[in-house]
Amino acid sequence: MNRLKTNRWDFGYTLETMNREARKRNAPVFRFEDAGKASPFRILVSTMLSARTKDETTIQIVKELFRTVGSPRDVLRLNEKQIEKILYGIGFYRLKAKYLKQMAEKLINEFNGKVPDTIDALLSLPGVGRKTANIVLARAFGKNTIGVDVHVHRIANRLGLVKTKRPEDTEQKLVKIVQQRFKRNFNRTFVAYGQTICIPRKPKCDECKIRKICKYGQTMINQYH
């Protein structure tokens, strides 16, 4: 049986294997989730700030931020320069400081200070794109969504689950083929694996426990045999 035919693909076994191997290697995403745990607001902020920044960097900075900020109203007590100083080191920290301020204002003025739990409402917030919105829905509200970042996009294409060029297209494909019960943790598992084994350059195919069902892995194996 060809396990790359997505209607027969064993997502349960594959995701469990990926998660186990990434935890053995202490993937940064697990520590990142701990740093942003608890309230939907913290999850939203930490996910938004993580864009284009290494999780190791984001972890330290969000911990510092959350010592001062625990709600949208706390954000409004700070001016942009103060926020920038805290966020320094994060990619595009000035822009994200601006977004964070605007986001807090919108949450208070339009959502009674609470993080909304729908995709359209989340996308209306400054600095929030589809990846962030879907991750918040999954992690903060337990909804079956898939946030597609560079790791998910890369690994899904390497495995042969999809053949796409844009993360938006990858999301559309994955939501159709991934069973509901696996969607919520899909992003976290793929990110963890992408941080530790299926890295962007020179992936560790020799250490990969799922290489036999990986299109890219099989290609690499055949090159050396």
Which residue has better confidence, 9 or 127?
127
Give the pLDDT confidence score for residue 107 in this predicted structure: 98
Ordered domains of the chain (ranges, CATH)? 6-25+145-223 (1.10.1670.10), 30-141 (1.10.340.30)
Residue 98 has pLDDT above 60, yes or no: yes
Q: Which of 55, 96, 101, 149 is catalytic?
A: 149
Distance CA 143, CA 135 (A): 9
Q: What's the rounded Cα separation, in Å, for the pair 131 and 129?
A: 6
Query: What pLDDT is recorded for position 56?
Result: 83
The answer to whether residue 149 is catalytic is yes
pLDDT given at position 2: 43
* 196-205: average pLDDT: 94
Q: What is the pLDDT of residues 104-147, one digit of tens each?
A: 999 999 999 999 999 999 999 999 999 999 999 999 999 999 99
Q: How confident is the model at residue 222 (pLDDT cuts 50, 70, 90)?
A: low
Query: What predicted TM-score, i.e. pTM, was given to this entire model?
Result: 0.88
pLDDT above 70: residue 223: no
- Check if 131 is active-site: yes
Report pLDDT for 32.
74
For the segment 41-50, what is each residue's pLDDT rounded down to a tens digit?
A: 999 999 999 9
What per-residue confidence (pLDDT) applies to 85? Answer: 97
SS3 168: helix
Overall average pLDDT of the 171-187 stretch = 95
pLDDT in tens, 67-97: 999 999 999 999 999 999 999 999 999 999 9
Does 160 score more than 90 pLDDT?
Answer: yes
The DSSP letter of residue 126 is T
Contact 171, 130 (CB under 8 A): yes
Mean pLDDT of the chain: 91
Residue 188 clears pLDDT 90, i.e. is over it = yes
Q: What is the mean pLDDT of residues 185-207?
A: 95
pLDDT at 148 over 90: yes
Residue 166 to residues 6, 93, 156, 184: CA-CA distances in angstroms? Answer: 19, 25, 12, 21
Q: What is the pLDDT of residue 109?
A: 98
Q: Which of the residues 101, 131, 173, 183 is marked catalytic?
A: 131
Please say if the pLDDT value at position 1 is more than 60. no
Distance CA 121, CA 117 (A): 7
